[in-house]
A and B are shown apart, each in its own frame.
Chain A
Amino acid sequence: MKKLIVMLNIILFLVLANSVFSQTQNKKNVVQTKNSCLTCHKEDDNMPDDYNPNNVHASVGLNCVDCHGGDSTSDDEDIAMSKAKGFVGAPEKTEIPQFCGKCHSNINYMRKYNPRAETDQVSQYYTSVHGKQLKKGDENVAACTDCHTAHSIFKVNNPQSTVYALNVPGTCNKCHGDAKLISKYKLNPNIYEEYSNSVHGIALLKNKDTGAPACNDCHGNHGAMPPGVNSIANVCGLCHVNNLKYFEASKMGKAFKEEDYHGCEECHGNHGIKKPTDDFIGVSDKAVCINCHDEGEDGYIVAETIHGELKKLTSMYDSAKVKLSEVKKIGMDDVDISFILKDVHQSIIKARTKVHTFDTVQVAKVVNTGLKTAFKAIKKADDEISDYHTRTNGFGIATGIFLILIILIYLKLKTIEKKQ
């Protein structure tokens, strides 16, 4: 019995010792992760307005002192924010790029978090209009924190980020939409509105297609610049590859280079770019060709011919679609016709791209391929419709035969009944 009591005491002691030990350990952990900056700034209600505890820096374990210096383990404000402890506080606007660059330009440091991290943002920034102006001491221009914020920074692929594709136009517009500010630089403050109604803006902002270009896709981000005359076509060509290829090889492309014209922008515009229609080319009021080409000129004839070719194909496509809807309406097989029509639609896209060759022969070649395919679809639709009529006629004949049989049987029955 005594032995049992001794054993129980030992067990009790071990349990208590273990719980005391683990409490000490926990306390030690708390001290280690203590952030007196947050404690005091929260107490004083003096937190940065844009502070988000989930920001990218906090999420990888960095805290205030990693940017601002000082000692977050000390409860004493004088020690915590002493220069001796490396406290630098908030940087001046002109110092911000270097402030962020302390880490972001240091590949040896950045590699810890992302081995593929780019570290040339600061050097790129100083090549941008923003960077050049900041260097001159102009504090109105954007530095890192104007686009990324200071304390709500998120990765670019995080929808919360101010530089997430869908948020970029709004972020740029904070300054570029400020008429008072932007007029100092003789820039248009309505670019956001123009962009929002453009084909790109609708795709990005309305349809949430993050593949559509935002401001930075054409202007660059850290090295943001308006594209130069010679680079506009290349900027558009990043996405519109074939259009650029055809345009550069065309007579028009060469002439544009010689005349220093603004490439794509001359016909399509820039921020407010609209989805081009087939009337964009041609000689009607809506066409852009007549802005430069007068009646009788080669260019005028080419524009007229290409427009005619496109119209031929699109009209045939529309007719085929009407036939398809007829086939659908009568419940016949529309699957193959739909597939063929997809090929026709593909030809239309190709022909519209070929417009940038400004070569009537090349456009006509694609149009003819499309026309042949459209004819095939119409023929197939006609076959289906004719087949349907054969079926209805067959049903009519069958019903007639059934009716005759029914009458004959009925008469036979009557005869039999009479005999009985």
Chain B
Amino acid sequence: MKGLWNKIEKWLDERYDIQPMKEYIKHKKVPMHRHSVWYYMGGITLFLFTVQVLTGILLLMYYKPGENSSYESVRFIITQVKFGWLIRNVHSWSANLMIFFAFLHMFSVFFSGAFKKPRELTWVSGFLILALALGFGFSGYLLPWDDLAFFATKVGTEIVASVPLIGHWLKEVLRGGEDVTGATLSRFFGIHTAILPLIATILIAIHLLFVQKQGMHEPEEFKNLPEEKKKYIPFFPNFALKDLLFWLLIFNIILFLALYFPWQLGPKADPLSSAPAGIKPEWYFMFMFQSLKLLPAHILFLEGEVVGILTFGLAGTIWMILPFLVPAKRESNKILKIIGVFVVAFIVVFTILGYIL
């Protein structure tokens, strides 16, 4: 086996000179400290993205977009297709976990200060990937075309209309018309399976390239240690194997969730029926949805919802360009931590409020 591998390696090296890459892998090191566990979050998110791509491709074999076929094909997948139920449930659960780990990854990067110079662009690309992941979630949610998906999309796209100046136009672009119809479904299908994957793949490649080029970020306390006390482990095989351990664990959890908490398929969407009671967006949109709900109808001379949308838009933009606004000096860490804790607390509290109110 080893002989065959050596032969392949030699064959490739002769043609493509893979020695520099081998050397890079051999010498790539990962710092070991008490916060090292957060290094795995990005890897887990990437793994879940891969699961999404693979299960998504499998679902595409049977999914037929269209007002008269989406719901039926999803039903066919989960009831008739061998392991169809598993693939669909893994796709749904993995999507949720991917967003969860993306958030976790983002906040770990924030609190460790890894977003600052020289990793500004890694942060920006990561933020954009998270935004795309939310887009994946929003567009994918409509595809089964059941009543909950239909009305949640209706509410979601309605909120977009509150964006000043371009809101109405944006809503129509998203919906493919005045209302959520088969045209919206086709559009969302295209966005979910072609446009977003293309942009996401490019951005992920760029993000990974940045990470590889700059290496893992070392926290201040680690940097300040004397050289002999700094511990590193080789990326390959040690870190990679640990990554694999996490992936296996997470995948097993997904299988558990898929089996014991299968994703429901409600009644088929009927635009003429009344909206089912208690429509709620997916949990990752809940904090925004809840804050918009709690805002008063009017704030000064503006509509409450418009103020909310503008605030979220502004906050998101500031968050994205944060590395350019924050000095790389250590003194700013304390204020940043307070801001970070506030943001996390806001998201957690408003998400919980969304479910209990």
Contact = CB atoms under 8 A, between A and B. Distances in A.
Interface string A41-54: 00000000000000
B248 A413 contact: no
Given A333-B79, A413-B242, A402 B251 contact: yes
B262 interface: yes
A402 B252 contact: yes
Contacts of B256: 395, 399
B249 interface: yes
Contact of B238 (A336, A399, A405, A416): A416
A115 B245 CA distance: 85
B288 interface: no
Contact of B259 (A335, A391, A402): A391
A399 B252 contact: yes
A402 B255 CA distance: 11
Interface string B81-107: 000001000000000000000000000
Contacts of B260: 331
A405 B241 CA distance: 11
A103 interface: no
A420 B252 CA distance: 30
Contact of B245 (A333, A409, A420): A409
Binding site secondary structure of chain A: helix
Contact of B78 (A333, A399, A410): A333
A416 B248 contact: no
B31 to A, nearest CB: 16
B237 A416 contact: yes
B347 interface: no
Contacts of B161: none
A206 interface: no
Given A333-B79, A413-B238, A405 B248 contact: yes
Contacts of B245: 406, 409-410, 413
B244 interface: yes
A409 B244 contact: yes
A416 B255 CA distance: 30
Interface string B196-237: 000000000000000000000000000000000000001001
A392 interface: yes
A398 B79 contact: no
A331 B79 CA distance: 12
Nearest to A331: B262
Nearest to A391: B259
A98 to B, nearest CB: 52
Given A333-B78, A405-B248, A410-B245, A398 B255 contact: yes
A333 B251 CA distance: 24
A34 interface: no
Nearest to A387: B85
Nearest to A403: B252
A402 B248 contact: yes
A416 B241 CA distance: 10
Contacts of A331: 260-262
Contact of A412 (B241, B248, B251, B259): B241
A67 to B, nearest CB: 46
Contact of A406 (B234, B238, B248): B248
Given A333-B78, A392-B259, A398 B238 contact: no
Nearest to B246: A406
A319 B238 CA distance: 57
B248 A395 contact: no
Given A331-B262, A333-B79, A392-B259, A417 B244 contact: no
A43 to B, nearest CB: 51
A216 B237 CA distance: 89
A417 B238 contact: yes
A372 B88 CA distance: 34
Given A333-B78, A333-B79, A398 B241 contact: no
A397 to B, nearest CB: 11
Contacts of B78: 333
Contacts of B261: 331
Contacts of A399: 252, 255-256
Interface string B253-279: 001100111100000000000000000
16 contacts: A335-B75, A335-B79, A392-B259, A395-B255, A395-B259, A398-B252, A398-B255, A402-B249, A402-B252, A405-B248, A406-B249, A409-B245, A413-B241, A413-B245, A416-B241, A420-B238
Interface of A: 331, 333, 335-336, 391-392, 395, 398-399, 402, 405-406, 409-410, 412-413, 416-417, 420
* CB-CB nearest 5 A-B residue pairs: A333-B79, A402-B252, A331-B262, A395-B259, A402-B248
Given A402-B252, A409-B245, A413-B238, 15 more contacts: A331-B260, A331-B261, A331-B262, A333-B79, A395-B255, A398-B252, A402-B248, A402-B249, A406-B248, A409-B244, A409-B248, A412-B241, A413-B241, A413-B242, A420-B234
